[in-house]
A and B are shown apart, each in its own frame.
Chain A
Amino acid sequence: GAVVSQHPSWVICKSGTSVKIECRSLDFQATTMFWYRQFPKQSLMLMATSNEGSKATYEQGVEKDKFLINHASLTLSTLTVTSAHPEDSSFYICSAGDSSGPDTQYFGPGTRLTVL
């Protein structure tokens, strides 16, 4: 089956620094990638949808200048949390869809971000 990887799997950083999270589709071309955030004991929340070669579409309430998304190739999307603060500490998950349609989603293992 299709595999999506994320790097790093966990990261601890100081407040005010920026953190980049990578999402890669390992054996297929991902025309669309999704970024989610999950706070403890809560459900996944969609942050943004990124299509290769175009600007990401952000969900209401998600600051696009704070959460920079780049989908520069069909196998890689990056999420950069700029000037991270403790309230940004969360579990960030990406999923990727291939050309078969938006219904087919392959989830990455997630990245746990802790901002001190």
Chain B
Amino acid sequence: KNEVEQSPQNLTAQEGEFITINCSYSVGISALHWLQQHPGGGIVSLFMLSSGKKKHGRLIATINIQEKHSSLHITASHPRDSAVYICAVNTGNQFYFGTGTSLTVIP
């Protein structure tokens, strides 16, 4: 069993839709990261969370430490949001990565 599980694995949405990507983890963490990887491979760090909620533009990330769960929300999705979104957790000693959620937003 992976330490970090993401769902769904693949997601197709129409432009403008509200999108949610979920991440569950089984280890104690000091922080959780949401990463965005575009075709071609470049990775951008979207959020780092240790509690609560963060918002950046149309992106919102939440984390529930007790439930060991985090969600990434995209409001008013756009084709340029098409990418792979990766959840990663830091235990303080090690990083564990989810396998990613491939998002395609159709115009």
Enumerate chain A interface residues (CB-CB to B < 8 A). 34, 38, 42-46, 91, 93, 102-110, 112
Contacts and interface: CB of A to CB of B under 8 A. Distances in A.
B98 A43 contact: yes
Interface SS, B side = strand
A64 B98 CA distance: 25
Contacts of B44: 107
B92 to A, nearest CB: 7
Interface of B: 30-31, 33, 35, 41-45, 48, 50, 86, 88, 90, 92, 94-95, 97-100
B47 to A, nearest CB: 12
Contacts of B92: 102
Contacts of A34: 95
B48 A105 contact: yes
A109 B50 CA distance: 24
Nearest to A59: B94
B42 A110 contact: yes
27 contacts: A34-B95, A38-B41, A43-B98, A43-B99, A43-B100, A44-B86, A44-B97, A45-B97, A46-B94, A46-B95, A93-B43, A102-B30, A103-B30, A103-B48, A103-B50, A105-B33, A105-B90, A106-B45, A107-B35, A107-B43, A108-B43, A109-B41, A109-B42, A110-B41, A110-B42, A110-B43, A112-B41
A102 B97 CA distance: 16
